[in-house]
Amino acid sequence: MKAKTHSWAKKRVKITWTWKYVLAKSCKRHLLSDKSKKAKGRNKYGQIVSTAMHREMKQCLPNGL
């Protein structure tokens, strides 16, 4: 049987050059006027998925988008 990619994962997960999975951080869509520049800066880039969740991500993206 063909392994299918989870559609939520292909929309939200990026794979780095070294095969690490990156998810976008939360709290960056609205209500930004109340947040400090430092808080917005910390949220700028995605968050690398922990090694514990690495196996789950691999199952969600079998074709390695």
What's the pTM?
0.72
What is the spatial distance between Cα 31 and Cα 7, in angstroms, rounded to a whole number? 28
Residue 17: DSSP 8-state: T
Digit-coded pLDDT (tens) for 12-64? 889 889 989 999 888 888 999 999 999 889 888 889 999 888 888 888 888 76
pLDDT for residue 1: 74
What is the spatial distance between Cα 16 and Cα 25, in angstroms, rounded to a whole number? 16
Q: Report the number of distinct structural domains present in the chain.
A: 1
Q: Is residue 1 part of a domain?
A: no
Could you tell me the residue range of the domain that residue 18 belongs to?
A: 7-60
pLDDT of residue 65 exceeding 70, the answer is: no
Q: What is the CATH number of the domain that holds 48?
A: 4.10.410.60
pLDDT for residue 61: 86
